[in-house]
C-alpha cells in the first residue's frame, strides 16, 4: 500500500489542526457567508415540513441549558440532536447547495454541525467561517478522490467525516484526538444508497442530517478520550477494502496550502430540485416562452450519464408519488416547468404531484444519454431539450451551466431574494434584514446566539 494512503488520517488531522482564519482569502470568507444566507433560507422554507416537526418533538425530550438551539425556537438540546434537526431543515427541500465530482455532495450539510458546536462552545464568527470552509474542503476533496455511489453506498458517508472534522476544529482537539475522531466518524457510519433508489421516502431529506449528527458525536467521543480503530483507511477491514477501493488524498493540494478552497467550486441552487435537474428546468422554462402546452406532441431530452442514472433511470421517475421522488425526477421537473411556467416549492406540493393531467403529460417525455454531454460532466451539466409540436414545428435549446453554477452564479441580491421568498412571512421583514446583515458581517460576531435568536418563528 502506498505510504500516502497510510498517512491519510495523520495528514488530515494536521491540516485540520493548523488551518486558521487568516489563511482564508476574502473570496472564501464571503462565500461562506453566502452559504449561510442560502442555508438559513432553506431552513425557513422547510420549518413546517413533517420530518422537521417530528424530529423537533424528539429533540425536545433532551433539554440542555448550555446546548444548541433548535432553529426557529428558543429550545436548546444537545449539540448532536440540534445538528440532526437543523440539518433536516437545511436539506429537506433539496434546495441547498451542491458539489459534483466522482461523488455528489451537498456540502452545506455540514453547516448545522458548525452552528451547534459554535453555540455550545461559545465561539465567534471567525471560528464559524473557518469551520464552514473546512467542512466544504474535506467533503469535496473526498468526493474528488472516490465514489461511494458507484459502490452502492450513499454520499452522506463523507458528511460524517467532514462534520466530524469541522466539530473537531471548533472543539480545539489536538491532532491525536482528531485522528481518533476520523476513525470514529467512519467505522459506524457507512450508509446504504437505497436511500435514493426507487420511490423515495422522508429519509432522503434526513440522511445527511443524521450523518452530520454522527460526526458531531464522533468528535465529542474523541474529545472525551474514546479511541477509534487503527488503519481505518487501509486496514484489512477498512474503508478501502470494504467500501471505496484505494484512493489518494494529498492535503498539500488543500485550500490554505498550495490549492484553492473547494467552497468556490460548489453550486447554489436556483430551483428546489435535485441539482442534475437544474439545467433541464432552465431549458424547459426557456422553451415554454415559444410553445403552448396543448401544442406539445413530444419532448426529447439528451443529457449526461449521471443525470440519467440518478433522476431519469427508474420507472418511479415517470410516476412520482412523493415530494422526495418528484424533486428527483427529471421528467417531472421538466413537465411541471412547462405546465406552470415556474418551479418553486408549490410545484412539489402533494396536490400538484398527483395532478392526473400533469402525470399523463410525462408520457410524452423521452430521455436518452448523450456521449458528448457525459464527457463534459462534471465540469459542465449540459441538457438538451427538443419539443415537437402537433403543427410540425420544433423548438430546442441546450443549457450547460445552469443559474447558480460558479460560471453562472447567483448574485448576493438574488441570494437575499431567495431567502426572503423561502421565509414567506415566517419572520418579520425587519428581523430578516437583521439576520442577513449579521451574516454579511459574520467575522465581527462575538456570540452566535445573537444571530440564532433572530430566527424565532
Each residue's pLDDT tens digit, 114-161: 999 999 999 999 999 999 999 999 999 999 999 999 999 999 999 999
Per-residue model confidence (pLDDT) at position 1: 34
Separation between Cα atoms, residue 165 and residue 134, nearest integer Å: 8
- The SS3 call for residue 192 is strand
Buried b (16+ CB within 10 A) or exposed e, 82-102: bbbbbbbbbbbbbbbbbbbbb
**Burial class, 42, CB count within 10 angstroms (exposed 0-12 / middle 13-18 / buried 19+):** buried
- Share of residues in the chain with pLDDT > 70 (%): 99
Average the pLDDT over 362-380 and give the result: 96
Separation between Cα atoms, residue 190 and residue 266, nearest integer Å: 24
Per-residue model confidence (pLDDT) at position 28: 98
The cell for 135 is: 467542512
The cell for 200 is: 423515495
Separation between Cα atoms, residue 331 and residue 5, nearest integer Å: 42
pLDDT confidence bin for 296, thresholds 50/70/90? very high
Candidates 91, 58, 90; CA nearest to 75 is 58
How far lies 128's CA from each of 32, 117, 135, 138, 439, in Å?
9, 9, 11, 15, 11
pLDDT confidence bin for 6, thresholds 50/70/90? low
Each residue's pLDDT tens digit, 205-242: 999 999 999 999 999 999 999 999 999 999 999 999 99
User: How many other C-beta atoms can be found within 10 angstroms of the C-beta atom of residue 424?
Assistant: 11
Average the pLDDT over 328-332 and give the result: 97
Q: Which residues contact 246 (CB under 8 A, 6 or more apart)?
A: 1, 2, 5, 234, 240
Average the pLDDT over 275-288 and give the result: 98
Each residue's pLDDT tens digit, 383-438: 999 999 999 999 999 999 999 999 999 999 999 999 999 999 999 988 999 999 99
Looking only at the bridges linking them, the beta strands covering 365-369 and 76-77 are: unpaired
Per-residue model confidence (pLDDT) at position 259: 85
Above 70 in pLDDT, residue 2? no
The CA angle 347-353-354, to the nearest 5 degrees, is: 145
Average the pLDDT over 332-349 and give the result: 97
Each residue's pLDDT tens digit, 79-104: 999 999 999 999 999 999 999 999 99
Above 90 in pLDDT, residue 41? yes
pLDDT confidence bin for 258, thresholds 50/70/90? confident
The cell for 418 is: 431567495
Q: Which domains occur in the chain, in start order?
A: 3-270+434-455 (1.10.4100.10), 275-399 (3.30.1330.120)
Average the pLDDT over 369-394 and give the result: 97
Candidates 371, 182, 404; CA nearest to 275 is 404
Candidates 295, 283, 436; CA nearest to 361 is 295
DSSP codes joined into one string, 345-379: GGGGSHHHHT-HHHHHHGGGEEEEE-HHHHHHTTT
DSSP codes joined into one string, 276-291: GGHHHHHHHHHHHTT-
Q: Which residues contact 430 (CB under 8 A, 6 or more apart)?
A: none
Are residues 242 and 196 in contact, defined by beta-carbon separation less than 8 angstroms?
Answer: no
Q: How much is the mean pLDDT over the chain?
A: 95
The CA angle 35-36-40, to the nearest 5 degrees, is: 120
Sheet of 394-399, strand order: 365-369, 296-303, 383-389, 394-399
Q: Looking at the DSSP assignment, which residues form a beta bridge with residue 365?
A: 299
Amino acid at each position: 500500500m502506498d505510504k500516502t494512503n497510510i498517512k491519510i488520517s495523520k495528514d488530515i488531522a494536521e491540516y485540520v489542526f493548523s488551518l486558521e482564519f487568516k489563511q482564508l482569502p476574502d473570496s472564501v470568507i464571503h462565500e461562506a457567508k453566502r452559504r449561510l444566507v442560502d442555508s438559513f433560507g432553506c431552513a425557513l422554507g422547510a420549518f413546517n415540513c413533517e420530518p422537521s416537526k417530528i424530529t423537533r418533538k424528539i429533540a425536545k425530550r433532551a433539554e440542555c441549558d448550555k446546548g444548541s438551539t433548535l432553529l426557529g425556537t428558543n429550545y436548546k438540546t444537545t449539540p448532536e440532536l440540534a445538528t440532526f434537526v437543523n440539518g433536516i431543515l437545511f436539506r429537506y427541500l433539496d434546495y441547498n447547495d451542491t458539489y459534483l465530482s466522482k461523488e455528489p455532495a451537498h456540502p452545506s450539510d455540514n453547516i448545522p454541525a458548525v452552528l451547534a458546536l459554535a453555540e455550545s462552545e461559545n465561539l465567534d464568527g471567525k471560528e464559524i467561517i473557518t469551520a464552514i470552509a473546512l467542512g466544504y474542503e474535506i467533503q469535496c476533496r473526498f468526493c474528488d478522490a472516490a465514489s461511494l455511489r458507484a459502490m452502492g453506498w450513499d454520499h452522506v458517508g463523507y458528511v460524517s467525516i467532514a462534520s466530524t472534522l469541522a466539530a473537531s476544529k471548533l472543539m480545539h482537539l489536538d491532532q491525536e484526538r482528531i485522528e481518533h475522531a476520523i476513525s470514529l466518524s467512519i467505522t459506524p457510519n457507512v450508509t446504504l444508497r437505497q436511500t435514493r433508489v426507487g420511490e423515495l421516502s422522508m429519509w432522503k431529506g434526513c440522511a445527511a442530517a443524521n450523518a452530520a449528527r454522527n460526526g458531531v458525536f464522533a468528535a465529542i467521543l474523541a474529545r472525551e478520550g474514546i479511541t477509534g480503530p487503527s488503519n481505518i483507511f487501509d486496514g484489512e477491514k477498512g474503508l478501502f477494502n470494504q467500501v471505496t477501493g484505494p484512493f489518494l488524498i494529498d492535503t498539500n493540494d488543500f485550500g490554505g496550502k498550495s490549492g484553492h478552497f473547494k467552497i468556490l467550486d460548489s453550486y447554489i441552487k436556483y430551483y428546489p430540485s435535485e441539482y442534475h435537474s437544474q439545467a433541464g428546468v432552465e431549458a424547459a422554462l426557456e422553451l415554454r416562452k415559444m410553445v403552448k402546452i396543448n401544442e406539445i406532441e413530444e419532448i426529447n431530452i439528451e443529457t449526461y450519464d449521471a443525470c440519467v442514472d440518478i433522476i431519469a433511470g427508474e420507472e418511479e421517475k415517470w410516476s412520482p408519488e412523493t415530494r422526495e421522488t418528484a424533486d428527483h425526477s427529471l421528467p417531472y421537473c421538466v413537465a411541471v416547468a412547462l405546465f406552470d411556467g415556474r418551479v418553486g416549492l408549490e410545484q412539489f406540493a402533494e396536490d400538484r404531484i398527483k395532478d392526473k393531467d400533469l402525470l399523463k403529460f410525462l408520457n410524452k417525455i423521452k430521455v436518452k444519454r448523450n456521449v458528448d454531454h457525459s464527457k463534459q460532466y462534471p465540469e459542465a451539466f449540459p441538457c438538451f431539450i427538443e419539443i415537437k409540436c402537433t403543427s410540425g414545428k420544433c423548438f430546442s435549446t441546450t443549457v450547460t451551466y445552469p443559474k447558480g453554477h460558479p460560471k453562472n452564479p447567483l448574485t448576493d441580491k438574488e441570494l437575499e431574494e431567495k431567502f426572503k421568498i423561502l421565509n414567506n412571512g415566517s419572520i418579520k421583514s425587519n428581523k430578516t434584514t437583521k439576520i442577513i446583515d449579521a451574516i454579511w458581517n459574520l467575522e465581527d460576531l462575538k456570540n452566535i446566539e445573537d444571530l440564532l435568536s433572530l430566527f424565532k418563528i
